[in-house]
Chains A and B, each alone.
Chain A
């Protein structure tokens, strides 16, 4: 999962939320439980203090008596943490009564600490016991027989808090384990949810890759409601992109037509007579013709750059081309031998492949005695030469055009591809063909290499990207 991805964002927010909510919930549950346990403990203490109060104050004696009922057996065990104490508040002479568990110690009285009673008249306090153990004490103040003018007594019951703390701590530990497990499960679920939820986007990603590699022209398949418009927009964009390129191409063609016919007229008119003026016109018309061709090529090339996902199977381009070339050169009985596997594809425009192959093969036909060969092979590491392109991440296909003519010297091969240069002025042509091939091949990160053919003539190797 990459940092800058939708999946990561969804996962992180979701996980963060889980990690924020779960401890909060845990703390809340823990607090509620603790309060609950405390309340029930307090209830128990209150019952005890009420019972002892009644036992000691309503016995009918003129003094408080120790309760006869034990209520809590631990009142009898020394330092058990469970204690009671009845202490006179108004006279210092009278002895206080204490549980056996308290031995010789005594408990502080909350009323003497000026603590306020609750609505039931009880006062609560947490103190340290005779052993230093934490205790919770509850005190009621009462008189013998509830008579208001009699001396007051403080009746205290104490219970151990460490038991309470232990219970709560135990609960907290179990709660933590449970919540941690729940958290992990939720994070795991989030991961699955994100993967599943983003599955359609993965499909879009794969679809775009297919378009780029040329296996598809459009995004296909059902997509969720939210990204269906995106799919339609992308498809419309691809379509309009193609339309724009096609329109540009048509316009360029129209411009060519519009300019070339008048140029033909001027050229022919100027060649008809022999004045200095018409010579100048003829010369300039030739310059204009070359300029028009040059900039039309440029325009075509500029219109072509970054057209998404055009892929051209090579065989269907080769076959009509061979037919046309054999017809054009039928007077000389040129035979074109083609070896091209069906499956090979060129990653680019059909027109451009036609243009490159057409020029190369037409040249070969012009120079050949009787035979021209076209061999198309996928590039393997064995025949990769590497100096044609620095781009190593793509696959290439090699189109070799050979003829059985006289070939070229290495010096002549060097010069080929220079615009307007013609090696043989007696053969028809503008001298633009090879430079168009070189320019086009470069615009596809490919290249053209010239060599001597084993058949005697020139071997022109065109290297073009494939999928």
Chain B
């Protein structure tokens, strides 16, 4: 999952990027409204954490611009202005959730998980595909009840596939959503990680659809 953080306070920005990376997200960050708007407009993020009080272009305008351009990724607004008029303005501009500063990182992470889950159509915090279970809260992956140890790259890949299970996910899409913008996208690491994942979970759960990409499915034979 790829997340954009737009926050002008350098310390808070660093903390957010750190916490989100630790939680297994690929994180890009911007420190002003214009940069944030440009990134959100051009990169396919799964979620944006957006501060309202930004230099150059305020958060509400950034959000409105995105929604006008039909960018539908979930956006969580982060702001010190916690009055209801501000919340209403934020929600009316197209925000999906609202978190007032100062906040606890755990609460932000919980809300991010909820938004990502909803965007991909899952109701529960536990994603299941066949015998594989992924708990988005604890980042634990089990297969038939046995915990499986994954590296963070492997976890990100599995998590994205499970959020979008029963759907063909192209290699490009995976690259775009799993790695931040500084990552070297020409490499063939996706295939390497798919190969490693197949060794740790039942191999046939991740199916290769030739010329299109990969699909995670509990019943691969029906495809």
Taking Cβ atoms with an 8 Å cutoff, the residues of A that contact B are: 253, 256-269, 271, 285, 289, 320-321, 323-324, 327-328, 331, 350-351, 354-355, 357-359, 428
Q: Which residues of B approach A to under 8 Å, CB–CB?
A: 9, 11-12, 15, 19, 53, 79-85, 87-88, 90-92, 96-98, 100-105, 107, 114, 118
In contact, A351 and B83 (Cβ under 8 angstroms)? yes
Q: Which A residues are CB-close (under 8 A) to B92?
A: 320, 323-324
Partner pick for A271 among B81, B83, B96, B105, CB 8 A cutoff? B105
Please list 24 pairs of residues, one from A and one from B, whose beta carbons are closer than 8 Å in the complex, sorted by A's number: A253-B83, A256-B81, A259-B80, A260-B80, A261-B101, A263-B102, A267-B104, A268-B104, A271-B104, A271-B105, A320-B88, A320-B92, A324-B88, A324-B91, A324-B92, A328-B97, A331-B114, A351-B85, A354-B83, A354-B88, A355-B84, A357-B84, A358-B87, A358-B88
Q: Given the interface contacts A331-B118, A351-B83, A428-B107, does A264 sit within 8 Å of B101 by beta carbon? A: yes
Given A261-B80, A354-B85, A357-B84, A323:B91 Cβ within 8 A: yes
Q: By the criterion CB–CB under 8 Å, are B101 and A358 in contact?
A: no
Whether B84 lies near A327 (C-beta < 8 A) is no
Nearest Cβ on chain A to B5's Cβ, whole angstroms: 13
Given contacts A256-B80, A256-B81, A269-B15, contact A264 B88 (CB under 8 A): no
In the bound complex, residues from chain B placing their C-beta under 8 Å from that of A265 are 9, 11-12, 15
Which residue of A has the minimal Cβ distance to B110? A428
Known: A265-B9, A320-B92. Contact between A260 and B102, CB under 8 A? yes
Which residues of A sit under 8 angstroms from B81, Cβ to Cβ? 253, 256-257
A267 in contact with B88 given A351-B83, A355-B83 (CB within 8 Å): no
A373 to B117, CA, bound (A): 29
Whether the Cβ atoms of B84 and A328 lie closer than 8 Å is no
Contact B102 A324 (CB under 8 A): no
Please report the C-alpha to C-alpha distance between residue A264 and residue B9 in the assembled complex, in whole angstroms: 10
Q: Which chain B residues lie closer than 8 Å to A268 at the CB level?
A: 12, 15, 19, 104-105
Give the chain B neighbours of A331 by CB distance below 8 A: 114, 118
Looking at the assembled complex, report how far the CB atom of A335 sits from the nearest CB atom of chain B, in whole angstroms: 17
Residue of A264, A289, A327 with most chain B CB atoms under a 10 A cut-off: A264
Number of A-B contacts (CB under 8 A): 85
| Majority-rule SS of A interface residues | helix
- Verify B84–A285 contact, CB threshold 8 A: no
Q: Which residue of B lies closest to A354 (CB)?
A: B84
CB atoms of A350 and B85 under 8 A apart: yes
Pairwise interchain contact A264-B118, C-beta atoms closer than 8 A: no
B114 to chain A: closest CB distance in Å? 7
B100 proximity list for chain A (CB < 8 A): 260
Q: With CB as the reference atom, state the residue of chain A lying closest to B79.
A: A257
Q: Closest chain A residue to B90 by CB distance?
A: A324
Bound complex: CA A263 to CA B11 (Å): 11
Q: Is the CB of A267 within 8 A of B84?
A: no
Q: Which residue of A lies closest to B99 (CB)?
A: A428
Q: A268-B19, A327-B96 are in contact. Are A321 and B88 (CB under 8 A)?
A: yes
Q: What 15 additional pairs, Cβ within 8 angstroms, besides A265-B15, A357-B84?
A: A253-B80, A253-B81, A253-B83, A257-B80, A257-B81, A261-B9, A261-B102, A265-B12, A321-B88, A324-B84, A324-B87, A328-B87, A328-B98, A331-B114, A354-B88
